[in-house]
Chain A
Amino acid sequence: MHLPALRFGKPYESLERTQLVHFLTGERVAEVSQVGGAIMGRDASKMARAREALLEINPDEIIKRLQTAGNLYVHGTLSVGDGKQSPANFVEQQSSTTGLPESLCRANMQKNLFVLSHMDRMLDCLSRGLPHEVLWKGYGREHRGVVVSYQAQSPVLGLVLPSNSPGVHTLWLPVIALGVGLLIKPGGQEPWTPYRMAAAMVEAGIPPEAIGLYPGATDVGAAILAGCGRSMIFGSTKTVEQYRGNPSVQVHGPGFSKILIGDDCVDRWETYLDVMVESVAANSGRGCINASAIYASRHTGEIAAAIAERLGPMDVKPPQDPDAQLAAFTVPGVAQAIWQQIEGGLTASGVTHATATYGPRLVEAERCGWLRPVVVHCQSPDPEIAKAEYMFPCVSVVRCPQEQMLQRIGSTLVATAITSDPVFQSQLIGCTAIDRLNLGPIPTTKLDWLQPHEGNILDFLYRSRALQVPAEMPATSTPSARHAGVA
């Protein structure tokens, strides 16, 4: 299969192609055309047209088409690149180049389907009931009778997607429904979701000129970030730091998600073991929403031992095995390098390796490697390993007095706080180090898509501003007022 670049609807076959190979066998799976940043720069003139093409369609109709696209994505045989792709082909291909077990690939498909099929409800929640028409026209009257204006900050959202986590795609799926085009640099090893999703959307009637796919090297990412009014990038802590404070760029880095157990609940820690295990190990621990640390003031040794007992025996299985739960590190040497780093961390004072008795953690194959789950007990939040996040099920159970927790946890994308103590809850709600907060025993990996994730995508793409019209002029006097939803 060959995946060409898609220059806002026009396939472009490059003379340079990367070969995607099976992580176990090295067999060729697909070729992907590679373009340079200059092509993207040249196509910047097409960005305005991407939004215009969407605005020519009724916003409610767009939502319906996205729901159709969701069904096609999960169930349809689609034209992807120069071939046909069934859902089974997709799962096999995605697994073969990312190292993710096929069962997890299927689960991610369902996640994407959920978002697309609930798009109307999601938008209603993200916009707090704003009529969709307002985003199309730029202003309108909301249900209280007040004129509101939302100005698009960019005709397209630029996306520099990661190679290693097919779970991130839910973040950009609402963008088309917001009347904004997509300019995507797919992940090197995971072009599959963007290509299949684009194919499903186009087949469902989304204008092809609203979607650009530009596979390439880092200069394409740089061109996207430089050329788009709004862009989203996934990367390391260094990448996060590089773009911190840049209002045009939303950066998604490590999550350092955590479970915090309050003193009022910690003596019943066994009750929450399932929540802890799921938070650490769901989706092979690859996500930024997987818990990398669990904080409690006591019983931490017992908690670590209990999680180790559940996760320690987890072993590598073939990717086709329905029980496979561990993803491979497909870049040679990476698993070994991570394990060496962890081994270094385990030598620190106050650190105990709770999974040490469950066999070797590093499993190496000819072309790839795996890391079996690692559970660490830390007597305090001080050791470096207590602050680490790795892309496999790896968690530090950290002893820390409750009154110090919020000062010690550091940046936390998802915090699941298991407490009924109203004072602690109030402190948690006010803690600015925490982004998503689960009050109660909810796995960190269980996301409510009707709530914003790392900032509201609507607020990122649109600016709410004042727009006044004479009192006698209806706020919806243009022809596009025919669309439903505006008073």
Chain B
Amino acid sequence: MITDPLPLQPAAFELANDIAIGNARESLDAHTVAMMAWHFHPSTGCPFWLDYAQSLPFNPLTDVKCYDDLKKFPPFEDEWLRGGPLRRWVPRGFADKPVYVFETGGTTGVPKSRVNMRDFRTDYEQFSSTLPDEYFPPGANWLMLGPSGPRRLRLSIEHLAQYRGGISFCIDLDPRWVIKLIQKGWMEHLEAYKQHCVDQAITILEAGHDIRCMFTTPKLLEALALSLEKKGTTIRQAGITGIFSGGTEFTPQWTRFAVEELLDGAYMTPTYGNTLMGLAASRPVTPADGYTIAYYAPQPRAVIEVVDFDDTNAVVGYGLTGRVKLTTLTQETFVPGFLERDEGERERPCHQYPWDGISGVRPFRQLAGATTVGVY
């Protein structure tokens, strides 16, 4: 049995023109060179990269002249991010800044960590400009129905709400416990924990806080919608007009189902992101485009490439399937060519984002069996 989505209709969105694509590329190349100057200069770079540069057969300060030259770096190994000392990742140029640490994974063993000073704020301020005010009114309060604890997302949503003039209400949600419940096969407990999270959300929504916007994951969104339906109401009737969703795999079918049957007219924008990269927005999701969910990284701060499974320095053709390769290029973090645990199809540059995107993101087939996808 072969599982394939329906053929996509790539012409159903506005393509970027060649000038915009060229400008974006020039900007990326210039930004790459600037980031090399920062990360590999002894006065500004972090101890890890300065040490690592000694082992490289090239000089990043002089031999990286454009984005493609980053292929000279060996693949980034995310295992380097486990354990301390964390200060090895703090650029000397930011030595006096307050440091946050955000974790990813960690259900068992030592989680991977990324230092942050202001990146999460910058990323979400940029993302804010993609949210339509009609559905995410400035000044509106938010509900963060997603993971709490040492997650970047928790603080980011709060910052997004504050940046847009609102207040963010949060729940307690431990995604590591969710993963353990799934791994143990304790499905009744999983359902109970999900309901516990949704109950917290409904309590907040019914408490007179005038919440209009929400972050949540697809699974929690459907659980919330079904719970509200049992109470005779809907997400829209509960006051929500705009939903920013992410955290787990989105499919066109799920999105269509949500739009047609769960949202009651509320607006939803899917996103793809993680602690390393930041946040990739999606181009507008429309029935005419077969509810295709195509993400575009926040270039030049981060780049998504869809690469060949065997030759990870070669991007695949448009519409073809490959593995997700992430590159992070901010002053706080340099991650060249990290091979994600996801795969998808390469998407053409669009009007809003004149660079490559990716659609159909799902767990990388060779790792999927070993990956547990939770509510987050």
Residues on A close to B: CB < 8 A? 14-21, 34-36, 38-39, 41-42, 45, 97, 188-189, 222, 225-226, 242
Instruction: Check B222 against A38 for contact (C-beta < 8 Å).
Output: yes
Instruction: Provide the residues of chain A in CB contact with B1, threshold 8 Å.
Output: 18-21, 97, 188-189
B226 partner, pick from A18, A42, A189, beta carbons under 8 A: A42
Instruction: Check A16 against B252 for contact (C-beta < 8 Å).
Output: yes
Closest B residue, CB atoms, query A239 = B185
Question: What are 6 A-B interface contacts by the 8 Å CB criterion?
Answer: A14-B253, A17-B4, A21-B1, A35-B257, A38-B262, A97-B1
Q: How far is the CA of A201 from the CA of B51 in the complex (A)?
A: 73
B257 partner, pick from A19, A21, A39, beta carbons under 8 A: A39
CB distance from B234 to the nearest CB of A (A): 12
CB distance from A183 to the nearest CB of B (A): 16
A sample of 20 more A-B contacts (CB under 8 A), given A15-B290, A19-B1, A38-B262, is A15-B5, A15-B6, A15-B251, A16-B251, A19-B2, A19-B3, A19-B4, A21-B1, A21-B2, A34-B253, A35-B253, A36-B222, A36-B253, A38-B226, A39-B257, A41-B222, A41-B226, A42-B262, A97-B1, A226-B187
Instruction: Provide the residues of chain B in CB contact with A16, threshold 8 Å.
Output: 3, 5-6, 251-253
Closest A residue, CB atoms, query B191 = A226
CB distance from B250 to the nearest CB of A (A): 11
Instruction: Provide the residues of chain A in CB contact with B251, threshold 8 Å.
Output: 15-16
Contact A42-B5, Cβ < 8 Å, known A15-B256, A242-B185:
no
Instruction: Provide the residues of chain B in CB contact with A242, threshold 8 Å.
Output: 185
Instruction: Provide the residues of chain B in CB contact with A34, threshold 8 Å.
Output: 3, 253
Cross-chain pair count, CB within 8 angstroms = 57
CB within 8 Å of A: which of B220-260?
A: 222, 226, 229, 251-254, 256-257
Q: Is the interface of A mostly helix, strand, loop or mixed?
A: mixed
Q: How far is the CA of A361 from the CA of B261 in the complex (A)?
A: 52
Instruction: Provide the residues of chain B in CB contact with A39, threshold 8 Å.
Output: 257, 261
Instruction: Check B253 against A18 for contact (C-beta < 8 Å).
Output: no
Closest B residue, CB atoms, query A41 = B226
Q: How far is the CA of A14 from the CA of B185 in the complex (A)?
A: 28
Contact A17-B257, Cβ < 8 Å, known A41-B222, A41-B226:
no
Asked if B334 is an interface residue, CB under 8 A from chain A, the answer is no
Q: How far is the CA of A222 from the CA of B180 in the complex (A)?
A: 17
Asked if B291 is an interface residue, CB under 8 A from chain A, the answer is yes
Q: How far is the CA of A97 from the CA of B2 in the complex (A)?
A: 12
CB distance from A396 to the nearest CB of B (A): 30
Q: How far is the CA of A242 from the CA of B254 in the complex (A)?
A: 28
Instruction: Provide the residues of chain A in CB contact with B222, threshold 8 Å.
Output: 36, 38, 41
B253 partner, pick from A15, A21, A45, A188, beta carbons under 8 A: A15
Contact A18-B290, Cβ < 8 Å, known A36-B253, A38-B257, A222-B187:
no
- The residue in A16, A34, A45 that gathers the most chain B C-beta atoms within 10 A of its C-beta is A16
Instruction: Provide the residues of chain B in CB contact with A225, threshold 8 Å.
Output: 187
Contact A15-B252, Cβ < 8 Å, known A38-B257, A42-B261, A222-B187:
yes
Instruction: Check A36 against B191 for contact (C-beta < 8 Å).
Output: no
CB distance from A28 to the nearest CB of B (A): 9
Instruction: Provide the residues of chain B in CB contact with A19, threshold 8 Å.
Output: 1-4
Instruction: Check A18 against B2 for contact (C-beta < 8 Å).
Output: yes
Q: How far is the CA of A39 from the CA of B256 in the complex (A)?
A: 11
Q: How far is the CA of A445 from the CA of B229 in the complex (A)?
A: 47
Contact A17-B6, Cβ < 8 Å, known A36-B254, A39-B257, A222-B187:
yes
Query: Which 6 A-B pairs give the minimum distances between C-beta atoms?
Result: A38-B222, A15-B253, A16-B253, A15-B252, A19-B2, A18-B3
Q: How far is the CA of A320 from the CA of B241 in the complex (A)?
A: 58
Instruction: Provide the residues of chain B in CB contact with A15, threshold 8 Å.
Output: 5-6, 251-253, 256, 290-291
Q: How far is the CA of A339 from the CA of B37 in the complex (A)?
A: 60
CB within 8 Å of A: which of B1-42?
A: 1-6
CB distance from B136 to the nearest CB of A (A): 24
Q: How far is the CA of A211 from the CA of B185 in the complex (A)?
A: 29
Q: How far is the CA of A225 from the CA of B226 in the complex (A)?
A: 16
Instruction: Provide the residues of chain A in CB contact with B261, threshold 8 Å.
Output: 39, 42
CB distance from A16 to the nearest CB of B (A): 4
- The residue in B1, B5, B262 that gathers the most chain A C-beta atoms within 10 A of its C-beta is B1
Instruction: Provide the residues of chain A in CB contact with B185, threshold 8 Å.
Output: 242
Instruction: Check B252 against A42 for contact (C-beta < 8 Å).
Output: no
CB distance from B252 to the nearest CB of A (A): 5
CB distance from B92 to the nearest CB of A (A): 48
Q: How far is the CA of A456 from the CA of B303 in the complex (A)?
A: 61
Q: How far is the CA of A257 from the CA of B229 in the complex (A)?
A: 46
CB distance from A123 to the nearest CB of B (A): 33
Instruction: Provide the residues of chain B in CB contact with A21, threshold 8 Å.
Output: 1-2
Q: How far is the CA of A340 from the CA of B45 in the complex (A)?
A: 55
CB within 8 Å of A: which of B80-138?
A: none
CB distance from A407 to the nearest CB of B (A): 31
Instruction: Provide the residues of chain A in CB contact with B291, threshold 8 Å.
Output: 15
Closest B residue, CB atoms, query A26 = B2
Q: How far is the CA of A14 from the CA of B291 in the complex (A)?
A: 12
Q: How far is the CA of A14 from the CA of B5 in the complex (A)?
A: 10
Q: How far is the CA of A473 from the CA of B253 in the complex (A)?
A: 55
Instruction: Check A36 against B257 for contact (C-beta < 8 Å).
Output: yes
Q: How far is the CA of A18 from the CA of B6 in the complex (A)?
A: 10
Q: How far is the CA of A16 from the CA of B250 in the complex (A)?
A: 12
Q: How far is the CA of A39 from the CA of B226 in the complex (A)?
A: 10
CB within 8 Å of A: which of B246-280?
A: 251-254, 256-257, 261-262
CB distance from B50 to the nearest CB of A (A): 47
Q: How far is the CA of A225 from the CA of B1 in the complex (A)?
A: 24
Closest A residue, CB atoms, query B226 = A41
Instruction: Provide the residues of chain A in CB contact with B290, threshold 8 Å.
Output: 15
Instruction: Provide the residues of chain B in CB contact with A226, threshold 8 Å.
Output: 187, 191
Instruction: Provide the residues of chain B in CB contact with A18, threshold 8 Å.
Output: 1-3
Instruction: Provide the residues of chain B in CB contact with A97, threshold 8 Å.
Output: 1
CB distance from B349 to the nearest CB of A (A): 24
CB distance from B9 to the nearest CB of A (A): 12
Q: How far is the CA of A226 from the CA of B291 in the complex (A)?
A: 29
Q: How far is the CA of A36 from the CA of B256 in the complex (A)?
A: 11
CB distance from B360 to the nearest CB of A (A): 11
Q: How far is the CA of A17 from the CA of B2 in the complex (A)?
A: 9
A42 partner, pick from B4, B229, B256, beta carbons under 8 A: B229
Instruction: Provide the residues of chain A in CB contact with B5, threshold 8 Å.
Output: 15-16
Q: How far is the CA of A20 from the CA of B1 in the complex (A)?
A: 5
Closest A residue, CB atoms, query B185 = A242
Q: How far is the CA of A14 from the CA of B253 in the complex (A)?
A: 6
Q: Scoring B residues 173 to 191 as 1 if CB is less than 8 Å from chain A, else 0, what string do you get?
A: 0000000000001010001
Q: How far is the CA of A316 from the CA of B222 in the complex (A)?
A: 48
Closest A residue, CB atoms, query B187 = A222
Closest B residue, CB atoms, query A33 = B253
CB distance from B365 to the nearest CB of A (A): 15
CB distance from B84 to the nearest CB of A (A): 38
Q: How far is the CA of A178 from the CA of B257 in the complex (A)?
A: 33
CB distance from A26 to the nearest CB of B (A): 9
Q: How far is the CA of A189 from the CA of B1 in the complex (A)?
A: 7
CB distance from A45 to the nearest CB of B (A): 8
Closest B residue, CB atoms, query A216 = B253
CB distance from B357 to the nearest CB of A (A): 19
CB distance from B232 to the nearest CB of A (A): 11
Q: How far is the CA of A189 from the CA of B257 in the complex (A)?
A: 25
